[in-house]
Structure 1
Protein backbone atom coordinates (compact mmCIF):
# COMPACT_ATOMS: atom_id res chain seq x y z
CA UNK A 1 0.00 0.00 0.00
CA UNK A 2 1.48 3.35 -0.96
CA UNK A 3 1.17 6.72 0.77
CA UNK A 4 -1.50 8.00 -1.65
CA UNK A 5 -3.83 5.17 -0.73
CA UNK A 6 -3.21 5.70 2.97
CA UNK A 7 -3.99 9.42 2.61
CA UNK A 8 -7.17 8.63 0.65
CA UNK A 9 -8.38 6.11 3.24
CA UNK A 10 -7.63 8.54 6.05
CA UNK A 11 -9.42 11.37 4.22
CA UNK A 12 -12.45 9.14 3.58
CA UNK A 13 -12.62 8.39 7.32
CA UNK A 14 -12.17 12.03 8.37
CA UNK A 15 -8.75 11.34 9.85
CA UNK A 16 -6.57 14.39 9.36
CA UNK A 17 -3.37 14.17 11.38
CA UNK A 18 -1.60 17.38 12.26
CA UNK A 19 1.78 17.53 10.63
CA UNK A 20 4.71 18.57 12.73
CA UNK A 21 6.32 21.55 11.07
CA UNK A 22 10.00 21.75 11.84
CA UNK A 23 10.95 25.33 11.10
CA UNK A 24 14.18 26.87 12.22
CA UNK A 25 14.83 30.49 11.49
CA UNK A 26 18.32 30.86 10.06
CA UNK A 27 18.23 34.47 8.89
CA UNK A 28 18.56 37.51 11.12
CA UNK A 29 17.71 40.54 8.98
CA UNK A 30 17.68 43.04 11.82
CA UNK A 31 21.37 43.91 12.03
CA UNK A 32 23.59 46.94 11.54
CA UNK A 33 26.07 45.19 9.25
CA UNK A 34 26.34 46.36 5.64
CA UNK A 35 24.19 44.72 2.98
CA UNK A 36 26.23 44.10 -0.14
CA UNK A 37 24.86 44.59 -3.62
CA UNK A 38 24.63 41.74 -6.14
CA UNK A 39 27.70 42.27 -8.32
CA UNK A 40 26.77 39.38 -10.63
CA UNK A 41 23.42 40.85 -11.69
CA UNK A 42 23.43 41.33 -15.47
CA UNK A 43 26.81 39.60 -15.83
CA UNK A 44 26.94 37.54 -19.04
CA UNK A 45 28.78 34.25 -18.78
CA UNK A 46 30.33 32.89 -22.00
CA UNK A 47 32.37 30.00 -20.64
CA UNK A 48 33.37 28.01 -17.58
CA UNK A 49 35.06 29.51 -14.52
CA UNK A 50 33.98 33.09 -15.24
CA UNK A 51 31.39 33.30 -12.48
CA UNK A 52 30.91 31.16 -9.43
CA UNK A 53 27.75 31.48 -7.37
CA UNK A 54 26.98 30.10 -3.93
CA UNK A 55 24.13 29.44 -1.59
CA UNK A 56 23.59 28.08 1.87
CA UNK A 57 20.63 26.21 3.32
CA UNK A 58 19.95 23.77 6.09
CA UNK A 59 18.96 20.13 6.09
CA UNK A 60 16.85 18.69 8.89
CA UNK A 61 18.26 15.61 10.57
CA UNK A 62 17.05 13.59 13.52
CA UNK A 63 18.82 15.68 16.15
CA UNK A 64 18.21 19.14 14.64
CA UNK A 65 19.68 20.51 11.46
CA UNK A 66 22.98 20.94 9.64
CA UNK A 67 24.05 23.59 7.16
CA UNK A 68 24.70 22.80 3.52
CA UNK A 69 26.76 25.25 1.48
CA UNK A 70 27.46 24.89 -2.23
CA UNK A 71 29.46 26.78 -4.87
CA UNK A 72 28.39 26.36 -8.50
CA UNK A 73 29.93 27.36 -11.81
CA UNK A 74 27.24 29.62 -13.30
CA UNK A 75 27.97 28.52 -16.88
CA UNK A 76 28.03 24.72 -16.52
CA UNK A 77 25.92 24.52 -13.32
CA UNK A 78 28.43 22.01 -11.95
CA UNK A 79 29.33 21.93 -8.29
CA UNK A 80 32.75 23.47 -7.70
CA UNK A 81 32.81 23.30 -3.93
Structure 2
Protein backbone atom coordinates (compact mmCIF):
# COMPACT_ATOMS: atom_id res chain seq x y z
CA UNK A 1 0.00 0.00 0.00
CA UNK A 2 2.86 2.40 0.77
CA UNK A 3 4.49 1.62 -2.56
CA UNK A 4 1.20 2.29 -4.34
CA UNK A 5 0.87 5.64 -2.57
CA UNK A 6 4.47 6.56 -3.39
CA UNK A 7 4.06 5.70 -7.09
CA UNK A 8 0.87 7.76 -7.24
CA UNK A 9 2.70 10.70 -5.63
CA UNK A 10 5.27 10.42 -8.42
CA UNK A 11 2.49 10.66 -11.02
CA UNK A 12 2.09 7.02 -12.06
CA UNK A 13 -1.36 5.54 -12.62
CA UNK A 14 -1.30 2.34 -10.53
CA UNK A 15 -3.52 0.58 -8.04
CA UNK A 16 -2.70 -1.85 -5.25
CA UNK A 17 -3.56 -4.91 -7.36
CA UNK A 18 -1.05 -4.00 -10.09
CA UNK A 19 1.68 -3.20 -7.57
CA UNK A 20 0.98 -6.50 -5.80
CA UNK A 21 1.14 -8.43 -9.08
CA UNK A 22 4.44 -6.79 -10.12
CA UNK A 23 5.98 -7.35 -6.70
CA UNK A 24 4.89 -11.01 -6.74
CA UNK A 25 6.45 -11.43 -10.22
CA UNK A 26 9.78 -10.17 -8.85
CA UNK A 27 9.43 -12.33 -5.72
CA UNK A 28 9.08 -9.26 -3.50
CA UNK A 29 6.66 -10.04 -0.71
CA UNK A 30 5.22 -7.27 1.41
CA UNK A 31 4.97 -7.78 5.16
CA UNK A 32 1.31 -7.70 6.10
CA UNK A 33 0.49 -6.29 9.53
CA UNK A 34 -1.29 -8.82 11.70
CA UNK A 35 -4.21 -7.96 13.89
CA UNK A 36 -3.51 -8.17 17.62
CA UNK A 37 -5.45 -11.08 19.07
CA UNK A 38 -6.33 -10.84 22.75
CA UNK A 39 -6.00 -14.28 24.36
CA UNK A 40 -6.24 -13.32 28.02
CA UNK A 41 -9.56 -13.71 29.82
CA UNK A 42 -9.23 -11.40 32.82
CA UNK A 43 -12.91 -11.76 33.75
CA UNK A 44 -12.71 -15.47 34.55
CA UNK A 45 -14.45 -17.11 37.50
CA UNK A 46 -11.31 -18.46 39.15
CA UNK A 47 -9.48 -17.05 42.14
CA UNK A 48 -6.57 -14.71 41.41
CA UNK A 49 -3.52 -15.40 43.57
CA UNK A 50 -0.99 -12.85 44.76
CA UNK A 51 2.46 -12.78 43.17
CA UNK A 52 4.43 -13.81 46.24
CA UNK A 53 7.71 -13.95 44.29
CA UNK A 54 7.71 -10.18 43.76
CA UNK A 55 7.93 -9.65 47.54
CA UNK A 56 10.98 -11.88 48.06
CA UNK A 57 14.47 -10.52 48.68
CA UNK A 58 16.77 -13.07 47.06
CA UNK A 59 20.21 -13.44 48.61
CA UNK A 60 21.37 -16.83 47.35
CA UNK A 61 20.69 -19.72 45.04
CA UNK A 62 17.75 -22.15 45.44
CA UNK A 63 15.53 -19.58 47.14
CA UNK A 64 13.13 -18.98 44.23
CA UNK A 65 12.51 -21.25 41.29
CA UNK A 66 10.11 -20.45 38.47
CA UNK A 67 8.76 -22.79 35.79
CA UNK A 68 6.91 -22.58 32.50
CA UNK A 69 5.27 -25.61 30.91
CA UNK A 70 3.97 -25.56 27.36
CA UNK A 71 2.10 -28.47 25.78
CA UNK A 72 2.58 -28.79 22.01
CA UNK A 73 0.69 -31.18 19.73
CA UNK A 74 2.98 -32.78 17.11
CA UNK A 75 2.28 -35.85 14.96
CA UNK A 76 -0.82 -36.98 16.88
CA UNK A 77 0.95 -36.83 20.26
CA UNK A 78 1.36 -34.21 22.94
CA UNK A 79 4.83 -33.00 23.86
CA UNK A 80 5.87 -30.99 26.86
CA UNK A 81 8.44 -28.20 26.65
CA UNK A 82 9.43 -26.91 30.04
CA UNK A 83 11.71 -24.17 31.25
CA UNK A 84 12.69 -24.00 34.88
CA UNK A 85 15.36 -21.86 36.42
CA UNK A 86 16.72 -20.53 39.64
CA UNK A 87 16.13 -16.78 39.54
CA UNK A 88 19.54 -16.06 41.12
CA UNK A 89 21.69 -18.65 39.32
CA UNK A 90 20.21 -18.13 35.80
CA UNK A 91 22.45 -20.93 34.45
CA UNK A 92 19.68 -23.52 34.05
CA UNK A 93 18.86 -24.31 30.43
CA UNK A 94 15.55 -25.47 28.92
CA UNK A 95 15.34 -29.14 28.01
CA UNK A 96 16.86 -29.58 24.54
CA UNK A 97 14.11 -31.79 23.05
CA UNK A 98 10.40 -32.09 23.78
CA UNK A 99 9.45 -35.35 25.49
CA UNK A 100 6.14 -37.20 25.10
CA UNK A 101 3.95 -36.10 27.99
CA UNK A 102 0.36 -37.23 27.45
CA UNK A 103 -0.80 -40.38 25.69
CA UNK A 104 -3.66 -40.14 23.21
TM-score normalised per structure 2: 0.41
Higher helix share: 2
Q: Higher RCO, 1 or 2 (CA under 8 Å, sep at least 6)? A: 1
Q: Which has the larger radius of gyration?
A: 2
